[in-house]
Amino acid sequence: MDVTAGPARTYNELLGGKDGLGSRKVLATLGELLPQLPVAAKANAAFVHRGVEAVADAGVRQYLDLGCGLPAPNDRTILRSAREYQLEARVVYVDNDPSVAANARALLDVADGYTCCVEADARDVPKVISAAGELLDFREPTAIIMGALAHFWPADQDPYGIVRDYLAAFKSGYLIFSHACDELLSAEVRAQAVALYERMVAPIYPRNSAEILKFFDGLDLLEPGLVEASEWRTDYAVPPDVGDAQFLAAVAGFRGGWPGN
């Protein structure tokens, strides 16, 4: 019997969702280690939408949402955020969890011809790019969204190379990216949280700020650079207290691997 909660369900419940299934026990234990984690998760989700709105306002109409997860409890979707600025925005949602993909097809605006959902592991770049090509034009600027995703990729799977492979597939665009940061955690809390996640959710690999910044090597970071998610072009009257449960986040422009770039 599979007793794991799964990343998508656990994250959804951190955001206040009720489709958590096995994640409630995980969250109860995590809450003892990282009581501010739900606050940090909500700040991270809000960052992703601010990032989408920023690049949509700059003219981007295409979005590749890797590890899209379950629909947010507030019904806010990438497509809706993008269409605040680009009425013809297109979104390809990607997730490797079959039940998440089924939910996405039912609930994430995938019936209007401007969106689709691909069931695939984001680490399988050729498969994702091939499927995304059914809807996206690789010659047009595209936002590649990796919100709270790459910290599930171990070093021996070359997470930096995976990101570069996605950027190389498009002529130009933006990377909207966030990642769990462990710099404020004690060694004991980090070890306990990582062990809990591996046992009940999925292996997780939080990194420090220098390691996270490396994902942006050669890219053009938008202001304010790499910051805690709630601080990126914040619209909070009072910034949320995320404690030591940090997600570092940034948006960066890129030129892909096309000839002439």
In this predicted structure, which of 6-15, 60-69, 169-178 has the lowest mean pLDDT? 6-15
* Domain that residue 157 falls in: 7-255
2 domain-assigned: no
Whole-model pTM: value is: 0.94
Which is higher by pLDDT, 73 or 149? 149
CATH number at residue 176: 3.40.50.150
158 domain-assigned: yes
> Cα(228)–Cα(246) distance, rounded to whole angstroms?
6
pLDDT at 2: 44
261 domain-assigned: no
166 domain-assigned: yes
| pLDDT tier, 185 (very low <50, low <70, confident <90, very high otherwise) | very high
248 domain-assigned: yes
> Cα(121)–Cα(181) distance, rounded to whole angstroms?
23
Q: Report how many domains make up the chain.
A: 1
236 domain-assigned: yes
260 domain-assigned: no
pLDDT at 21: 53
Cα 169 to Cα 53, 80, 148: the distances in Å are 23, 25, 21
Which pLDDT tens digit goes with each residue over 202-220?
Answer: 999 999 999 999 999 999 9
Residue 187: other Cβ atoms inside 10 A: 8
1 domain-assigned: no
Q: What are phi and psi of 108, to 5 degrees?
A: -100, 50
